[in-house]
Amino acid sequence: MTVSTATGPRQVPAVLRFADPLPGLPGRTEYALDALDDEGLLFALRSAPDAAAPRVRLFVVSPGLFFPDYAPSIPTDALDGVRGRPAAGPAPDPVLLSVVHPGEADGEHPTANLLAPLVVNPHNGRAVQTVLDEDLPLRAPLG
């Protein structure tokens, strides 16, 4: 799967496995990453089928494409969480994705969560969501 980023296209596995469930989505740790356009700008993150719970779909984007100055410092524990076991050598440069809120009313612009990015290891598909210790918006307008 090709994800367009501010530094160029990056290859990411089509299935992401989160170390812990995303907040508010208990029990779900595996998601398919589906491109919604040919440019690799907008994606759907769809939870794996589970007989005990309905499927969930989130929209995600690469934040650096929409916010060129977005260059957060990713905490070491988040990088360790996507490295996998055994932790041999440094973690590869992660791919960051931001969850998009589509807007609630007609004419309301969608927003991206810059405060809590998804940190993805492009080699193994392991992912975590981390809350940054920076002054970043939870809902930054897209376009």
pLDDT computed for residue 75 by the predictor: 93
| % of the chain at pLDDT higher than 90 | 76
2-141 CATH choice from 3.40.50.1820, 1.20.120.530, 3.30.420.10, 2.30.290.10? 2.30.290.10
Q: Taking 80 as the threshold, does the pLDDT of residue 68 lie above it?
A: yes
∠ CA 68-129-78, nearest 5°, is: 90
How do the domains of the chain map onto residue ranges? Answer: 2-141
* Confidence class for position 101, pLDDT limits 50, 70, 90: very high
Residue 2 has which token pair?
């090709």
CA 79 to chain centre: 14
Amino acid symbol at 46: R
Higher pLDDT, 24 or 89: 24
pLDDT confidence of residue 92? 76
* The pLDDT of residue 69 is above 90: yes
